[in-house]
Amino acid sequence: MNAKIEVENQGRLDGLKWFVVFAVVAAGAYGNYFYQSESLLYRVIALLILGLAAGYVALTTVKGQKFWTLVKDAKVEVRKVVWPTKQETVQTTVIVVAVVILMGFVLWLIDWALNSIINGLIG
């Protein structure tokens, strides 16, 4: 019960924060259009700064914090993955290519046979 009240208090300003995020993104898009005669480098730098600011504000929301937790957990899970060796990767790739070629040939034979049957029936 206490945790629920804490989350509600924490998320009270989330609507305002999301409005700020969308306003910053819209300002960046409009500014990029309005200042299109300026150097591309300056516009990219300005957009990066605005994007970082919008991202920071978004990460301070409840959903943003949950997203950041998800990213951290995914990073931990990626470290646990046992990646295949080069030999396993090459062998698997060769098998996949061989099966694709074989299935392509089989489908071509089926198509050729059905085409011959249809042509024989139609005359």
DSSP secondary-structure letter at 43?
H
pLDDT at 102: 98
If asked whether residues 6 and 32 sit together in one domain, one would say yes
- Closest among 33, 57, 37 to 47, alpha carbons compared: 33
If asked whether residues 44 and 55 sit together in one domain, one would say yes
pLDDT at 16: 92
If asked whether residues 69 and 86 sit together in one domain, one would say no
Looking at the 3D structure of the chain, how many domains does it have? 2
pLDDT at 119: 94
Q: Which two tokens stand for residue 28?
A: 């960046």
Q: Which two tokens stand for residue 114?
A: 């059905």
If asked whether residues 58 and 95 sit together in one domain, one would say no
pLDDT at 12: 83
If asked whether residues 53 and 63 sit together in one domain, one would say yes
Whether 31 and 51 have beta carbons less than 8 Å apart is answered as: no
> Cα–Cα distance between 80 and 51 in angstroms, integer?
32
pLDDT at 3: 56
pLDDT at 9: 62
> Cα–Cα distance between 11 and 90 in angstroms, integer?
50
If asked whether residues 32 and 58 sit together in one domain, one would say yes
If asked whether residues 69 and 87 sit together in one domain, one would say no
CA dihedral angle for residue 29, residue 32, residue 36, residue 39, rounded to 10 degrees: -160
Whether 60 and 15 have beta carbons less than 8 Å apart is answered as: no
Q: Residue 58, exposed/middle/buried by CB under 10 A (0-12, 13-18, 19+)?
A: buried
- Which residues of the chain, if any, have pLDDT below 50? none
If asked whether residues 100 and 71 sit together in one domain, one would say no
If asked whether residues 6 and 57 sit together in one domain, one would say yes
On whether the pTM is more than 0.85, the answer is no
> What is the domain extent for residue 58?
2-80
> Cα–Cα distance between 31 and 46 in angstroms, integer?
9
pLDDT at 62: 93
